[in-house]
Amino acid sequence: MIRKIRKYEGWFGATGAVCIAVGLYFGLAASPPDSYQGEVVRIMYVHVPFASTSMTAYGVLTVASLWYLWKRDPLIDNLAHASAGIGVFFTSGALYTGSIWGKPTWNTWWTWDARLVSFTILLLILIGYLMLRTFIEDKERESRYAAILAIVGAVDLPIVHFSVEWWRTLHQPLSISQRGVAIAGVMLYPLILMSVGFYLLFTYMVGVRTQMLYLKQLLEAKKGRLLGEVHL
Amino acid sequence: MNFFNVIRWLAWKDLLSELRSRENISSMFFFALIVILIFSFSFSMDQQTAKELMPGIMWVAFVFTGIIGLGKSFTAELQNDCLENLQMNPIPRGAIYLGKLASNLLFMLIVEVILFPLFVIFFNLDVFEKLPLFVLILTTGTLGVSAVGTLFSAMTVQIRAREVMLPILLLPLIVPVMIGAVEATGGVLRSEPISLYRQWIELLIIFDVIFTIVSFWLFEFILDH
């Protein structure tokens, strides 16, 4: 398994880089400015991929955590760990670019909107997850507790989202949803390109990080700090 | 031992040791009292602002004291390897969770019941006709906090830096409880018609049901060798 990741990860990284480069060209130069938001809208091409990738990161973390509790495979735990770490990067990116976009359009850096609050909670849970892992010595227990936290968070996040939505909301509705696409084609293509690029980048980063965590664990096992259970 | 007996004995055991030491409830109570005092010094309040701020202050005080109680809930089991013994016993894990949940809920509710009259006095509230609604909101809100809290308390007791990790993990997750409880309490205090805040009480009940079930299931994996 780890060899397979090693073999294909380069392709993911390279294709992702090409997609992002072409997407940036179309998004920043070739596509027209928005009729309401003007040039400011161009941050969408980075913000939306950041946001959707961070949700995917939490999705991967949840599935991997459930899988770990079921099968107890250390490599799956490394995948969950990697996904959480990379998720922190993408979630902070989404919050950061969203804040920059919010200033010219809503005239505020920050507001207590449903999506903003749920992304902040998402970030806090991910950071809590990584912190929890550093505070447990026993490797098996660390994986188990982290998986439990990830699953509780996965159940909690939709409830957080809906409760804050009832509370107050300002965010513009999603442009691409089940109700259809409310976005012009010439702006949609760079957005799709960027999203695909971000997903590939995410896959590449998670692949590399999973390997790193796995090899680190292997090294510790060979040094004799960890007994048993690790196998190539 | 059957399922319900385990729950009853665990909760009874916690209650009995609390009755003898009175450590938990008294420390929770005085901590909450100090939180309230600090809040009243931090905001200079007149009658009107007090009514607006009071639900938030009350729930912050309740949740903070809850965390103190929850943190102690499993540390007591570390002495004399009681936790190990609980793990080795052939009793359902879920029953251990429910027993601990029952005692945590009970301790928090006792403290809240003592504190509530103080809020009424400090903030000049008029609550007597709406007491059943307050009881409902207090119980559902507190159950939400302790359902997730009991799970994390069992988890953090076995790790380093447990005093820090419990609030760090718990507080972000109980945001819906905080919003729901504060909004519902505010609605009752402002004497709004119940249709305006019924959704918040429903949110609390939904949260309670979901997280009692999820924690009940996940607790299995905490006490696991």
**Complex confidence, ipTM:** 0.90
Give pTM, 2 decimals. Answer: 0.89
Q: Give the dihedral of Cα atoms B6, B8, B14, B16; nearest 10 deg.
A: -130
pLDDT greater than 70 at residue A8: yes
Instruction: Locate the domains of chain A by residue range.
Output: 2-222
- Pick from A61-65, A181-185, B73-77 the range whose average pLDDT is largest: A61-65
Q: Which of residues 39-68 of A touch B (CB under 8 A)?
A: none
Burial of A166 (0-12, 13-18, 19+ CB in 10 A): middle
User: What mean pLDDT do residues B124-137 have?
Assistant: 85
- Is the confidence at residue B35, as pLDDT, over 80? yes
Return the half-sphere exposure (C-beta side, CA atoms, 13 A cut-off) of residue A110: 5
Average pLDDT, chain A: 85
Query: What's phi and psi for B26, nearest 5 deg?
Result: -70, -40
**Could you give the number of structural domains in chain B?**
1
Nearest to B221 among A144, A155, A163 (CB): A144
**pLDDT tens profile B52-70:** 888 999 999 999 999 999 9
Would the CB atoms of B172 and A69 count as touching at under 8 Å?
no
Q: Give the chain A residue whose CA is nearest to the CA of B172.
A: A121
Q: In chain A, which residues have their Cβ closer than 8 Å to the Cβ of B161? A: 135
pLDDT grade for B91, boundaries at 50, 70 and 90: confident
pLDDT at A103 (0 to 100): 85
Nearest CA in chain A to B162: A135
Q: Which among A135, A151, A167 is the nearest to B218, CB-wise? A: A151
Res. A223 pLDDT band, cuts 50 70 90: confident
Answer whether B168 sits within 8 Å of A135, measured CB to CB: no
Put simply, whether A124 touches B (Cβ < 8 Å) is: yes
Size of interface A-B (CB pairs under 8 A): 75
Question: pLDDT, tens digit, for every residue of B160-216?
Answer: 888 899 999 999 999 999 999 999 998 888 888 888 888 899 999 999 999 999 999
**Nearest residue in B to A158, CA atom:** B176
pLDDT at position B25: 87
pLDDT at A221: 80
Question: What mean pLDDT do residues A156-176 have?
Answer: 75
Asked whether the beta carbons of residue B215 and residue A151 sit closer than 8 angstroms, the reply is: no
A131 with B165: Cβ contact below 8 A: yes
Option in A135, A147, A163 nearest B176 (CB): A163
Q: Which residues of chain B does A149 touch, with a Cβ-Cβ cutoff of 8 Å?
A: 152, 155, 169
pLDDT category at A232 given cuts 50, 70, 90 is very low
A145 touches chain B (CB under 8 A): yes
Q: Using the 8-state DSSP alphabet, how is residue B223 labeled?
A: S
Half-sphere exposure of B202 (CA within 13 A, CB side): 9
Average of pLDDT values for A90-97?
94
Q: Is the minimum CB–CB distance between A192 and chain B shorter than 8 Å?
A: no
CB of B11 within 8 A of CB of B99?
A: yes
Q: How far apart are CA B166 and CA B169, in angstroms?
A: 5
Smallest CA–CA separation between A127 and chain B, in Å?
9
What's the domain range around B46?
Answer: 3-222
A21 CA to chain B: closest CA distance, Å? Answer: 37
CB A119 within 8 A of CB A54: yes
How close, in Å, is residue A95 to chain B by CA atoms?
A: 17
The nearest alpha carbon in chain A to B207 belongs to A159
| Residue B148: per-residue pLDDT | 96
A149 touches chain B (CB under 8 A): yes
Give the residue from A119, A130, A129 showing the smallest Cα distance to A90. A119
- Name the residue facing B221 among A69, A121, A156 (closest C-beta): A69
Which residues are CB-neighbours of A105 under 8 A, at least 6 positions away? A37, A40
Q: Which of B97, B163, B173, B207 to mutate to test the interface with A (most CBs of A within 10 A)?
A: B173
Q: What is the pLDDT of residues A48-85, one digit of tens each?
A: 999 999 999 999 999 999 999 999 999 999 999 999 99
User: Which residues on neighbouring strands pair with residue A34, listed in sequence order?
Assistant: A38
CB contact under 8 A, B172 and A124: yes
